Amino acid sequence: MQGTAIAQPNIALIKYWGKRDVERNLPAVGSISITLRELHTRMSVTFDEVLAADTLTVNDAPDDRMLPRLSACLDRVAGKDRPRARILSSCNFPIAAGLASSASSFAALTVAVADAAGQSLSTAELASLAGQASGSAARSLLGGFVELRNTDDDIEVSSLCAADEWPLMVVVAITEAGPKPVGSTEAMEISRKTSPFFSSWVEQQEQDLDTARAAIAERDFQTLAAIAEHNCLKMHSVMWASRPPMVYWNAATMRCLQTVRRLQGQGVGVFFTIDAGPQIKAVCLPEFAAQVEAALRVTPGVTDIMTTGLGEGARLEHME
Ligand code: DP6
């Protein structure tokens, strides 16, 4: 009746933006991501026949905000007639600030609740369930470089390369730790319905996925850097051209981008990516991590820096 799992967030290099089926939360496009090592979310689910309603504690304080989405995830995994549950969540990085906290939360939750309900699910089943809760969560089930593909009526995730087979580093520059104004779920729908660039975004995605997949197979950093930056800027162009426009960047985001450009000019193996928030994620070859971190740390407007390698996928944590 109890399960605990831990999962790390992932950062998409080829982005998921837009849904083909809102009801089932199926993405309009495939995506490729890297799972991080140092940031994590732990989810513990305890079913209790005595409880009248699910309860949620986040970082030791009662917090209902995410409860409806978490309860819906529990229903999908364990059935609507399940006992109510006590959910404990802890997270060592800012929540809802464009750092993919929903990815690690729902990956960990799906694995934890399946265990609490006594179910032994395959990766395919877990991916389908985690993906219904949050598209990016399915990717955090696996470690290293992960591809999420659309199948005829669902999604599937697969590993492209393990974390230690190409140990890139990620320097996350935080420019604003508060929650974002419009969550990605809502923002994606606004883009799909109103952005004149949405259809070309979807049309070009297969090609970007092919390029990134081949670059990862060949450990070709420059090609991966070029396609990841291009794909990220295309996604933000879709957002900017939506009505109302969605601009997640702030002045410090732009300055970080210039820092990355300057480093690239000096021959540093680094590229940027930006999600639905103002933080910059600088992905780099390990030998440049200290230099990238130092340069971003002194970039005006950066309030915090987190440097991490690539890590493993979601897993159960057995209590002693
Ligand atoms: C910009 O997975 O949070 O980070 O499926 O609606 O929960 P929902 O969306 P979510 O969106 C992630 C968007 C992104 C790009 C990405 O991670 O691929």
Residue 265 is encoded by which pair of tokens?
């000019």
Cα of 127 from ligand 1 centre, angstroms? 14
Q: Which domains does the chain have, with CATH numbers?
A: 2-165 (3.30.230.10), 169-309 (3.30.70.890)
Cα of 131 from ligand 1 centre, angstroms? 10
Q: Is 132 in the pocket of ligand 1 (CB under 6 A)?
A: no
Residue 172 is encoded by which pair of tokens?
């996350």
- Mean pLDDT over 134-159 rounds to 97
Q: Is 276 in the pocket of ligand 1 (CB under 6 A)?
A: yes
pLDDT above 70: residue 275: yes
Taking only the tens place, the pLDDT of each residue in 53-62 is: 999 999 999 9
Q: Name every residue whose Cβ is closer than 8 Å to that of residue 125 and which is 6 or more positions away in sequence.
A: none
Q: What is the pLDDT of residue 226?
A: 98
Poorest-confidence range of 36-50, 64-78, 90-104, 148-162? 90-104
pLDDT above 90: residue 107: yes
| Distance separating alpha carbons of residues 111 and 120, to the nearest angstrom | 9
Residue 320 — pLDDT band, cuts 50, 70, 90? low
| Distance separating alpha carbons of residues 18 and 219, to the nearest angstrom | 29
Taking only the tens place, the pLDDT of each residue in 173-231 is: 999 877 777 889 999 999 999 999 999 999 999 999 999 999 999 999 999 999 999 99
pLDDT above 70: residue 97: no
- Tell me whether strands 61-62 and 55-58 are parallel, antiparallel or unpaired: antiparallel
Q: What is the pLDDT of residue 95?
A: 63
| Distance separating alpha carbons of residues 53 and 30, to the nearest angstrom | 36
Site of tokens 């601009």: 247
Poorest-confidence range of 95-99, 100-104, 117-121? 95-99
| Distance separating alpha carbons of residues 204 and 170, to the nearest angstrom | 26
Q: Please tell me the pTM assigned to this model.
A: 0.96
Q: Is 16 in the pocket of ligand 1 (CB under 6 A)?
A: yes
- Mean pLDDT over 297-313 rounds to 96
User: Ligand 1: which of 13, 16, 237 to mutate, judged by most atoms within 8 Å of the beta carbon?
Assistant: 16
Give φ, ψ of 66 to 5 degrees.
-90, -5
- 3-state SS, 190-257, equals HHHHHCCCHHHHHHHHHHHHHHHHHHHHCCCHHHHHHHHHHHHHHHHHHHHCCCCCCCCCCHHHHHHH
- Mean pLDDT over 292-301 rounds to 98
pLDDT above 60: residue 116: yes
Amino acid at 254: M
Q: Is 281 in the pocket of ligand 1 (CB under 6 A)?
A: no
- Mean pLDDT over 132-157 rounds to 97
pLDDT above 70: residue 96: no
Cα of 1 from ligand 1 centre, angstroms? 30
Q: Is 275 in the pocket of ligand 1 (CB under 6 A)?
A: yes
Q: Is 136 in the pocket of ligand 1 (CB under 6 A)?
A: yes
- Locate the ligand 1 atom nearest the alpha carbon of residue 25 and give its number: 5
DSSP 136: G
